[in-house]
Amino acid sequence: MSVTFAQGFSAAGVAAGISSVEGKKDLALVVNNGPLDAAAGVFTSNRFCAAPVQWSRKVVADGHVKAVILNSGGANACTGEAGYAQSVATAETVAGLIGAEPNDVAVCSTGLIGELLPLDNVLAGAKSAHEALAATAEAGTDASHAIMTTDTKPKTVELTGSKGWKIGGMVKGSGMIAPQLATMLCVITTDAVVSAGQMQAALAVAAEHSFNRIDVDGCMSTNDTVLLLASGASGVEPDKDEFNKLVREACVSLSRQIIGDGEGASHDIRITVTGATSEDAALACGRAVAASNLLKCAISGNDPNWGRIVSSLGTVPPEVAPYDSNKVTVDVNGVRICENGGAGRDRSEVDMTPREVHIDIDLNTGSDAEATVWTDDLTHEYIRINADYES
């Protein structure tokens, strides 16, 4: 059911003629029918952030959002004042349709950078989506399809709290994935009775431990947007800790689905660093390994080349992650192929047939801080997809 799983939300996904793929659903609308309209958001830190990001940051700042309109088929990034005007016009159109103010409507776009959107198609699509709004499972599914670009499948989540309140969500993302955030458009909805402040705190922590810990290709997007909306329609005020936990679970699920659908990927790679002096140190080491294109290519060829793991690990400055290289161990899928900074068991012993590859690095500093990062391998298909990318 995606974003319509929680009470108080309606959605739609329509073909508006924005995408270069004829007949593809390419515009989604999610409306919060209340009684609350609390909202939180996190956005890309890319300095070339897109016009809809600039607009939506302002919208979310007061903690209130009544609707989100999202399009695939064009990023509306690096389009200057004209692009920003398009985001404003889109918000104004949706606001008029639902009886709200434009500054209560968030706008999200994804696709090719550097080109204006076909605004007439976007605005006509907004009207079509408004007419198609429904609180059904089908409507939520349509919305999740409409935000896809190179994704091969929709990515959704549904969770239920102990007192019956719900969380639903959808995300798109397959390539151009790297912290901070990963490349995505994400809308998470809940019918819990929660304040915008509580939601923002929960979302910030959840994103840090999910979307900020995946890396498909090391490329940060201009359009990343993650929104959390609350309708309060369940009438249930959840336990704060449980709410935070389920928001984090939703984000972890959605981010993990992005990795599982990485462009052309044949392996999902989990990198866990333990024995670090701090979580930040462990995270820096994990990200350095996840960023290695050499390693990604080796994994694509079913080669657990531990030399590429430790060489990437060695790029982390000692002031960031102090450790003795002569004490480091590396296990791949349970086989210790690097022992005390040198060769361990023969890497031919590692079974590389599973989709998931687990790389476990122990820095053995005497401390027990740890962190986990997910990434994908790089295949010939990744090159094909991005050589031909047209949005």
Q: How far apart are CA 330 and CA 332, in angstroms?
A: 7
Dihedral angle sign, alpha carbons of residues 167, 177, 23, 67: positive
Do β-strands 214-215 and 9-14 pair in parallel, antiparallel, or remain unpaired? unpaired
Asked whether the bond before 180 is cis by omega within 30 degrees of 0, the reply is: yes
Are 29 and 126 within 8 A, CB to CB? yes
3-state secondary structure of 317: coil
- CA-nearest of 341, 185, 373 to 269 is 373
- Residue 7 tokens, joined: 């009470």
| Residue 143: closest CA among 68, 74, 36 | 68
Q: Which of 92, 63, 87 is nearest to 74 (CA)?
A: 87
Residues marked as catalytic: 183
CA distance 249 to 209: 10
Q: Which two tokens stand for residue 308?
A: 């590429």
Contact between 248 and 202 under an 8 Å Cβ cutoff? The reply is yes
- Report whether 218 contacts 178 (CB < 8 A): yes
* Closest to 38 measured CA to CA, from 177, 197, 152: 197
* Residue 91 half-sphere exposure toward CB, CA atoms < 13 A: 25
Complete edge-to-edge strand list for the sheet that includes strand 27-32: 9-14, 27-32, 67-71, 105-109
376 forms beta bridges with 268
Q: Which two tokens stand for residue 131?
A: 């007419």
DSSP string, 200-258: HHHHHHHHHTTGGGEESSS---S--EEEEEE--TT-----HHHHHHHHHHHHHHHHHHH
Which residues have CB under 8 Å from 61's CB, separation 6+? none
